[in-house]
Structure 1
Amino acid sequence: MDGNNGKKAWSVLKPLLKVGFTILALWLVYTKVDIAALQRLWKEANPWWLGPAVTAFVICQLVTSVRLLHFFHNIGLPISARSNFRLYLLGMFYNLFLPGGIGGDGYKIIVLKQRYPFTTRKEVFSAVFFDRLSGLWALCLLVALFSTVLPRIQQYSRWILPAVAVGTVIYYGVLRRFFKKISQHFVRIHLIALGTQLLQLVTVAFILKALGCSASYWPYFVIFLASSLASLFPFSIGGLGAREVVIVWGATTLGLDKDLAVSISLSFYIITMTMALTAIPVLFRKEQVQPEAASEQTTNA
């Protein structure tokens, strides 16, 4: 009974903590930026560049869902690309608009375990977890590569690059040793992961263009990638607040325009939120996860 009460208390406390952290983080950002400057940036933004930004983001999410699909096929789930993408959208929606409870990844695990009872919860969890980890690997690799061209952090690149290289070898070794199914098509999946992060940077580049940035884009790419690392930790609602705190810190460290940097982050969040809202129609009908022929599964995997 005590255990159940503890779980109930945590289920109530968790979303409150996320909301509290998000508000606190946004307040800290608010004290560091010029709100009037933010408003001016958005007012003077060129809307014609926002269309390509949205398009690049949508393509990015499609490619990311393909990466996840590879992991599901690795563990033998005969899920179609269409059903997988619908499930992926629902995961986005849960993460952004339902900060408490099971979250987007938890929702995917529950749905797939119900639809495919022949698989284990551990396998499904591993597929979802390593999908996230592959994205984290790609983020770290890009940060390491970009560190070689930024004067203020170039001196650290001789340590960052070897660390990422060694980490990659260890990461692959652990996968092959303990998660052999998951490790299938390692190179292909991680090239896809790298592609998704590059597509995010394409989105950021279009946002920068829309906001009229005339400075070098590279430093903004680096702090955006660093903020993406922060957003992976479930301390705030969909990464809101956590991403902006890192953006402000990074902009201050690299001597960038903090107002522009925060505008990029908030614009990216709005685009993300807009796409997540497209999952609403799926919420009003039963999620279908249709098995496919074994031959098709083998081909797709």
Structure 2
Amino acid sequence: MDKKKVWNILKPVLKVAFTVLALWLVYTKVDLTAVRRLWKEADSWWLIPAVAAFIICQVVTSFRLLYFFRNIGLPISVKSNLRLYLLGMFYNLFLPSGLGGDGYKIIVLKQRYDTTHKEVFSAVFFDRLAGLWALGFLVSCFSLAMPEVRQYSPWILAAFGMGSLMYYWVLHRFFNRMSRRFITTHLLGICTQSLQLATVAFILAALGCKTSYWPYFAIFLLSSLASLFPFSVGGLGAREVAIVWGAGTFGLDKDLAVSVSLSFYLITMAMALSAIFILFGQERKKTPPAPDAAKEPSH
């Protein structure tokens, strides 16, 4: 057996092991009794707008990805793109393999349309980068609202501004096709990150948080960075470790912070599951469908 096959087998095992270890570390730092009490006493009515905000967030994110696909000339329809995006969520959350949601999108689109692996990979990669930029934008803005880091805000904002200029220059200079619709895609990035925070706000309300939401928003955004690294299954565990560290740094309620993170994960998991039951059979057909003759959305 060659090294590549060994790694393909070992990689999911390591992901599961890391996830279990991370969750164990988290639960040694929190009071499980307090976490259970928070969920037991939660006002479930607040979870309705939380789920609604999360669903809207995923739809908006799929539109951001659609614009990047249009940048490389893929005639994919809004409906097909959303279907593919939701299936990508499933692969990211439930299959700890080397494929992942982004890999699944690349394979399907390469088979379905007259395109190359490099083009589809570029679209998916820069879509992720737009989301990462939006996350940095919000973190920079939140530094103004948090007394603990306000003294560093000028430096944070200056670094973000300079980084943004360099980012756009590199994108426009070396990846000109991906720089099309720059304002639209990056505004959508801010919108999706804001909708995630709206979901967090409703979860905090459900769990009875009586203090300022801003610090919880900040550590949630920072934990999103940790979940981007493919060390765990769907980001589970990695996000919670970052949440516990952030809560300790800012003097927040660790039990509440972890409860918010796990609630967010459960909402994500529920949406991915509902999508797979509806869409899996159609997307897994052996014969790729003809390209969609869809009208390009306005921008």
Give the TM-score range, shorter chain: over 0.9
State how many pairs are aligned. 295
Structure-1 separation of matches of 2:215 and 2:227 = 19
Q: Paired residue for 2:84?
A: 87
Equivalent of residue 6 in structure 2, options 6, 9, 23? 9
Q: Paired residue for 1:58?
A: 55
TM-score by length of 1: 0.95
- The answer to whether residue 45 in structure 2 is matched with residue 72 in structure 1 is no
Q: Which runs of 5+ in 1 are unaligned?
A: none
Residues 220-259 of structure 1 aligned to structure 2 (within 5 Å): 220-259=216-255
Distance 1:192 1:127, change over 3 A: same
Distance 1:262 1:283, change over 3 A: same
Q: Paired residue for 1:293?
A: 293
Distance 1:300 1:87, change over 3 A: farther
Secondary structure (helix, strand or coil) at the match of 2:241 reads helix
Q: Which runs of 5+ in 2 are unaligned?
A: none
Alpha-carbon deviation of 1:284? Answer: 2.0
Secondary structure (helix, strand or coil) at the match of 1:216 reads coil
**Residue type matched to 1:67 in 2?**
R
Identity of aligned residues (%): 68
Alpha-carbon deviation of 1:290? Answer: 4.7
Alpha-carbon deviation of 1:263? Answer: 0.3
Deviations 1:102-124 (A, max 9, x none): 110000000000001x2221111
Distance 1:243 1:289, change over 3 A: farther
Q: Paired residue for 1:266?
A: 262
Equivalent of residue 106 in structure 1, options 103, 106, 114? 103
Q: CA RMSD in A?
A: 1.3
Q: Paired residue for 2:23?
A: 26
Q: Is the 8 A contact 1:80 1:290 kept in 2?
A: no
Q: Paired residue for 1:207?
A: 203
**Residue type matched to 2:11 in 1?**
K
Deviations 1:21-43 (A, max 9, x none): 11111111011000000000000
Alpha-carbon deviation of 1:283? Answer: 1.7
Structure-2 separation of matches of 1:225 and 1:276 = 21
Structure-2 separation of matches of 1:251 and 1:187 = 34
Equivalent of residue 176 in structure 1, options 165, 172, 175? 172
Q: Is the 8 A contact 1:87 1:108 kept in 2?
A: yes
Structure-1 separation of matches of 2:289 and 2:184 = 25
- The answer to whether residue 181 in structure 2 is matched with residue 185 in structure 1 is yes
Alpha-carbon deviation of 1:285? Answer: 2.6
Secondary structure (helix, strand or coil) at the match of 1:156 reads helix
